[in-house]
Chains A and B, each alone.
Chain A
Amino acid sequence: MTPVLQDGCDTLPKLFLKKTAERGDRIAMREKDFGIWQSYSWSDYRARAFEIAYGLLALGLQRGDVASIQSEDCREWLWTDLGILLAGGVVNGIYPTYQMRQVEHALTDSSCRFLFVEDEEQLDKYLAIEQQLPLIEKIYVFDWRGLRDFRHDKVANIEVLYELGREFGTRNAGLVESIVAAGCGDDLAALVYTSGTTGMPKGAMLSQRYIIFQTLLAPDQLLFSADDEILTYLPLCHIAERVFSGWLPIAHGATINFAESPETIAQNLQELSPTYFFAVPRVWEKFYSRITTAMSEATWIGCKAYDLALAAGLRRADKLIAGQALSIADKVGYALADRLVFRNIKKILGLNRAHSAASGAAPISPSLLRWFLAIGIAIDELWGQTELGIATTCHQGLFQFGTVGRALPGTEVRIAENGEIIARSAGQFSGYLNLPEKTAETLVEGWIHTGDVGVLDNEGNLSITDRLKDIIITAGGKNITPSVIENELKFSPYISDAVIIGDQRKFLSCLIMIDQENVEHHAQTHSVPFTDYRSLCARPEIIALIDGEVRHVNAGFSSVEQVKKFRLIDVLLTAEDEELTPTMKLKRSYVSAKYKDLIDSMYVQ
């Protein structure tokens, strides 16, 4: 296998040493402390990573040993990530939303020796299952608040590890450098547990080569450079945020900014206005809903201006999509619309400085992409998965919505006989930990069976139809791809997520999760009385509202593809609930099983 190199380096630690030395005091990351942004330079990043690396070495970490990080995104996450890698260890990111059972699995399955937790809340999850985890030798806590009087042999403040690392580092100067130099592309670097919709999550093994391969995305496929500011808000355990906030900035030098919490993304975005913004479809849908709701109660003049501007924007967008040349009138109309309306919208969203925007990790509705293009935000769709990394990208300036673009150089994509997309690349994953059968199912003769079904056009553009296992075969024998319908439903500001049901059934039905904020707002403006979320979902007016949205979507589909009945999920779900993935998508199989009675009620004669 030919080596995969970024700037002459075949591993992330080598690249990190080289780049941090070059960048010195340039700002690497910012995070708020008590509401004030604090900056950390590349030298700080390096210094902290070294302390952690030496600390772990002092504790006896051997090459290939696993250390886990169980935390929300924060500066220590990345410092620890690199610290573990510099010492030759393997990083296992654990979702802070995981409950005890899942934490236990991720720690036991990976034979984890060292655990890093964010705070006392995450620590308590470990303490509750301490007896089942004899392999864990030490636990370090990033945020020691509330633990001053706490004493435990294995648990310590992260400061203790820094101190240990500083002391061990002075006595063993050059040790980390020599360990890094001995590393190679085949070394295991990270474990990423995929949010398994059925059964326990599987630990995908990612090598150093995988990481370096992902850093090659920029600058050719993604316009990502040292001047970029990015906002870090998706879980770093998830491969997408790891690529965008972990690996790409190390390779290319962008500055990352940590969102304060998942609830403050909108405010943080506004104050930072990042230049490169990656989001999952749910976030883009939320932005769209916010603007349309705001417009629905704007003044008459405001509404008129928005309608006119959007018409001009859509005219231009449609020409761009069709690949036609823009007339002078189009350009002038758009320039005017941008100056008067779109610029403000982009400012409100915090996207006025964004030169690039990308969407990935789930399919997105083409109508949504068209709307964003109309207001001047061209979103590039990416496609990939944990096993493959980011595998295809749309090229800037081409607006072929519905496709996820072409395979990266070094990545081959094919369609298997059953329609499944198979792919292989120089940077693919190395199998699932402890699961040879699962690995053999996914990795067949070197090709990764992605589980997605899709089509390749003559130019090599890939379009994703759906997940293979999600394709619905109705009782009438018709094949239906639910995600297309679901995405159109989610385009409604009142629908946050939807799951189409209909396998082996007479007709399609749907479970819908409403968008709390917008539906509550609608209820309030239309005097629909309700008390809590459940009573809101039960209001006939709200059911009628959603019914209208469903009918609207149905109009665009053939009769068999239309949703004949639907039910609302009347429990307000949070990231801690098993119904949702960490990126807040409904899990189809889990939801279908959990709400079986509700689903059956739609098929009662």
Chain B
Amino acid sequence: MSGTFVGMPTFPKNAAKAVQDSQLRFNLRKATHTIRGKRASVVGELDDWAELREAGKTIKDHTLRHLDDYLIQMEEKVTAAGGTVHWARDAAEANRIVARLVKETGETEVVKVKSMATQEIGLNEALAEEGINAYETDLAELIVQLGDDFPSHILVPAIHRNRAEIREIFLKHMAGAPKDLSDEPRALAEAARVYLRQRFLEAKVAISGANFMIAETGTLVVLESEGNGRMCLTLPKTLISVVGIEKLLPTWQDLEVFLQLLPRSSTGERMNPYTSMWTGATEGQEFHLVLLDNGRTSVLADKVGRQALRCIRCSACLNVCPVYERAGGHAYGSVYPGPIGAILTPQLRGMDTPLDRSLPYASSLCGACYEVCPVAIDIPAVLVDLRGKARHTRAEKAGMAAAGWVFNRSKRLAKAQRFGGRMRKLVPKRLPGPLSGWTDTRDMPDIPAESFRDWWMREGKR
């Protein structure tokens, strides 16, 4: 995955900083609560939501089970429709392919539609090294790019910025931004429209991702709101789409499920403003499809973790997550933040760094993410499974082993309880070491003189 986050401290450290940032807390709270309400209301409109969710889950599982066959079918269909298919084992290979394709056009500038896959592989940075400038055209991506910032949300990468901050970024970094620009969202959107219009009309090469690929027909599908996607997908002479191999759907009919699940889960709309679908080289364009692995096949090999590949990047899990709401997206140190990021990043990147090892613990396991996931990814179950695979500290291992030893014999538990009961007056108000994490903000409960089981033995049973 992208090198931009390399060397970041662990999640708890990043989050500790974020919770102190009251502006960030306010922005995130406002945005996530707004979208939660909208999602709930449009999901509530469909009385077959549970069945759509089941279909979404099973279509994805079926596709993943036969991914090799469907990829070959996709390749055949795209090729037959005049497109060229490329395969990339990892980020470096994908970046090389795209850079070469751009160079072959003789261009040094490309426009981009928001795409998680290209962020994951650090494409913009790789292109820059080859002397190619990539211009993000999605409003939130533009805000992030102009502000030289990191994305913090899958759908709305600039969710951590409010309107006043966005105005500041535009005034400072957007060439030609009106001096009297207000912070009205409408005015900010207008400024972006004017800024990008000429770029769209002049661009010769565009780079996109895709939300879905249909193996049966070779069709690619991109959902968006602003029209920047339509601009990039239709105007330039050459279109290069970088798509993760798990984005496949077997049949055209399968799309009827996902076009209901995704917009309602994502922006809380019955349908997003624009969806573009094209098959191969369309209306005189040259079309390249880069199929990206980059760790996905190793996720696929994990019996529990592979369900993360069902993800359609809707962000519903971020928007309901109490941890995300308070820690913000940057704390996760990945282009995939929030609950889905906490299970996807450690699987894609491995758990070799302290940051990546800390991600499976970035959850209270409250289950809100699983409840809203439109493809029923049991995120808490995958988190717990990953925790089992993460390296643990020696002190923790010793503590857990000791607890296990006590719990393995009820008599040992009873003895420990009696010992605790006798010592109860000696328990300090503030605990030492890692347990100070408890007593920094909370009082310890009064330890009872007698455990329940001793009471039961004495007078409870009759």
A and B interact: no
Residues of A near any B CB (own CB < 8 A): none
